[in-house]
Amino acid sequence: MLREPIESSVVASMGYEAKQQILEIEFRNGDIYTYFEVPEEEYLAFHSAESKGTYLNSVFKSRGYRYLQIK
């Protein structure tokens, strides 16, 4: 999955595989997380959010998506 660079103080890049509903996020600190069963509309909302950090902490994490920390 290709990740695109993101202008955010928290997120460095992210990519989304719509067919499998997999979201991969690389954070500025070097951590990489893969989230599973993320609906496309949730990815689009996260991607378009003005502050990725605020959205991640206040909305996305509350969804309880299954995830795997890669690094």
pLDDT mean for each 10 residues of the chain (71 residues)? 92 96 96 96 92 89 91 75
Give the ranges where the chain is alpha helix by DSSP (H). Answer: 40-48, 52-55
pTM higher than 0.85, yes or no?
yes
Q: How many C-beta atoms lie closer than 10 Å to residue 9's C-beta?
A: 9
Give the model's pLDDT for residue 71. 75
Q: What is the dihedral of CA 63, 67, 11, 54, to 10 degrees?
A: 20
Give the model's pLDDT for residue 1. 83
Give the model's pLDDT for residue 61. 85
